[in-house]
Amino acid sequence: MNAFDELARLLGERIGMAIDPRRRASIEARLAGLMADCGYSDSEEFVRRLRSGLDPALMNRTVDAMVTCETLFFRDRAPFEAMRGVVLPKLKETRRDFRNLRIWSAACATGQEPYSIAMVIDDMARDFAGWRVDIVASDISQSALAAARAGVYSQFEVQRGLPTAMLLRYFRKDAAGWRVAEHLQAAIDFRHVNLVSEFGALGCFDVVLCRNVLMYMDVERRRDILRRISAQLAPDGYLMLGATETIVGLTDDFVAAPGFAGLFTHRPQKRGTMRLVANS
Amino acid sequence: MKQILVVDDSAVIRKIARRILDSMRFSTTEANDGREALDACGTTMPDGILLDWNMPVMDGYEFLQQLRRMPGGSKPKVVFCTTENDVSQIARAMHAGADEYIMKPFDRQIVRSKFEEIGLI
């Protein structure tokens, strides 16, 4: 097995990444750049070092180099319209006695998705006055998480998907770029999470966004992750996948919610099977 | 087919904008400054306007104020374009009646994103 195949197998084992053979040239180019940056000239030695588990920093750098962190504010728009128009009003009604809401952005990349959620909720502040709203945002990439936590975006990034009214309301310009408002940053709990590993400690959620990440994984990983998300999603909670992603052949736990591509609820007969997991 | 008026004193910017808008299947007309743009709107009110801010004869701010007072002048969605990204200037343009803001240089993806936000797509 050559170094590329070994790396592909390793990434599959550790983070569930399934490398499309058509992307081989791109992955090999990234690998070559990473090896040069890390001072390796022998690809087999590099992969051996990764596999040894003795160098977690090297594994983090490799993951950072290999995963796709392409994202934008209010990506695809429809999920956020669904959130504002259907999901949050429904949950506000059903949670009115508890006044507690938990939302998980499971693959937050550089933070645009959880900040978009935080802006939607802040914009509905009157509806959720006196509520506790937890937004947990996680990603496998440490560097993406660092950028998300910093909350500073370039001119290019704030022009993609973010309405100017929101830009003026929630960002301020400084020498580093456009900095997100502190109260939005404070509303989000950023965590390093590998979806392939156990994530039960995060607790239960009312809404889980797992958009455009399962598409990079093999079928068995997708099934496993959806099964575990299902167990941690409230019986009347909502799952959001990418607009082009499907659950067909992966799980019977969910059904598509009408009107919004990528929005799912638990299948009615499955609602009683939720595993009890204590909130962290 | 929706009609977009590109208002900019730079022929290069107008050409780039036209190429982007043509690829998005808009009908595109052009004006060199705010005065020409007002005349164009008096003839046919467009669905959208890509508006430069700093122009000779009549600047974007003056044009926008006069446009919004014209009969039918509230109809066009206005995206103003500038090389400035000063918050106060962006806020001033939005306050004057712009619907969105794009910083130059822009590309097809950004124009598409902004047009989607304001309902031109």
Does A278 score more than 50 pLDDT?
no
Report the pLDDT value the prediction gives residue A280, as an integer from 0 to 100.
41
Q: Is the pLDDT of residue A279 over 50?
A: no
Q: Is A85 left (phi over 0), alpha (psi -120 to 50) or beta?
A: alpha
Across A26-43, average pLDDT: 88
- φ, ψ of residue B4 to 5 degrees: the values are -115, 130
Helix axis angle, A43-52 relative to A24-38, nearest 10°?
80
Q: Is the pLDDT of residue A16 over 90?
A: no
Rounded Cα–Cα distance for residues A220 and B108 (Å): 38
Going edge to edge, which strands form the sheet with B48-52? B27-31, B3-7, B48-52, B77-82, B100-103
pLDDT band at A1 (very low <50, low <70, confident <90, very high): low
pLDDT for the residue numbered A92: 96
pLDDT over 90 (residue A237): yes
Residue A250 to residue B80: CA distance in whole angstroms: 46
Q: A164, B90: Cβ pair inside 8 Å? A: yes
8-state DSSP, A87: I
Give the pLDDT confidence of A257-266 residue by residue, as tens digits.
Answer: 988 889 999 9
Which residue range forms the structural domain that includes residue B81? 3-117
Q: With CA atoms as reference, report the closest residue to A73 among B93, B117, B118, B41.
A: B117
Q: Which residues from A are below 8 Å from B117, CB to CB?
A: 77, 161, 163
Nearest Cα residue to A204 out of A227, A185, A230: A230
Chain B contact set for A161 (CB, 8 A): 113, 117
Residues of A in contact with B98 (CB under 8 A): 164
Among A76, A112, A158, A159, most B C-beta atoms within 10 A, so best to mutate, is: A159
Domains of chain A: 3-66 (1.10.155), 78-273 (3.40.50.150)
Percent of chain A with pLDDT over 90: 66
A65-79, A223-237, B26-40 — which is least confidently predicted? A65-79
CB contact under 8 A, A164 and B87: no
Find the residue in B nearest to A177 (Cα).
Answer: B85
Q: Tell me the average pLDDT of chain A.
A: 91
CB contact under 8 A, B90 and A163: no
ipTM: 0.82
Half-sphere exposure at residue A253, Cβ-oriented, CA atoms within 13 angstroms: 24
* Rounded-to-integer distance, Cα A246 and Cα A92, Å: 27
Interchain CB distance below 8 Å, A159 and B94? no
> How much is the pLDDT for A69?
75
Confidence of residue A270 (pLDDT cuts 50, 70, 90): low
C-alpha A26/C-alpha B76 separation (Å) is 44
Say whether residue A207 is in contact with chain B using an 8 A CB cutoff. Answer: no
Which CATH number does the domain housing residue B16 bear?
Answer: 3.40.50.2300
Q: What pLDDT is stored for residue A262 in this prediction?
A: 93
- The pLDDT mean for chain B works out to 93
The pLDDT value given to residue A272: 53
- Give A67: exposed, middle or buried? Use CB within 10 Å, 0-12, 13-18, 19+: buried
User: pLDDT tens across A204-219, in order?
Assistant: 999 999 999 999 899 9
Q: Give the pLDDT of residue B48.
A: 97
In this complex, do A165 and B106 lie within 8 Å of one another by their Cβ atoms? no
Contact criterion met (CB < 8 Å) for A168 and B91: yes
- Taking alpha carbons only, the member of A184, A196, A198 closest to residue A152 is A184
The answer to whether A159 contacts B100, with C-beta atoms less than 8 Å apart, is: no
If one counts the domains in chain B, the total is 1
Token reading at A250:
């992966």
Interface of B with A (CB under 8 A): 85-87, 90-91, 94, 98, 100-103, 106, 109-110, 113-114, 116-117
Q: Which two tokens stand for residue A139?
A: 């990603």
> Per the CB < 8 Å rule, is A173 touching B110?
no
CB contact under 8 Å between A173 and B103, yes or no, is: no
Phi, psi for residue A31 in degrees, rounded to 5: -60, -45
Q: Model confidence over B58-91: pLDDT tens digits?
A: 999 999 999 999 999 999 999 999 887 788 889 9
Check whether A151 has a pLDDT greater than 90. Answer: yes
Residue B101: per-residue pLDDT: 92
Q: Mutate which of B80, B81, B87, B115 to disrupt the A interface (most A C-beta within 10 Å)? A: B87
Answer positive or negative: Cα dihedral of A48, A52, A53, A55.
negative
For the cut 80, the answer to whether the pLDDT of residue A269 exceeds it is no
Tell which of A76, A77, A164, A172 to mutate to test the B interface (max B CBs under 10 Å): A164
- pLDDT (tens digit, 9 = 90+) per residue, B5-16? 999 999 999 999
* A74 pLDDT above the threshold of 50: yes
- d(Cα A50, Cα A11) in Å, to the nearest integer? 10
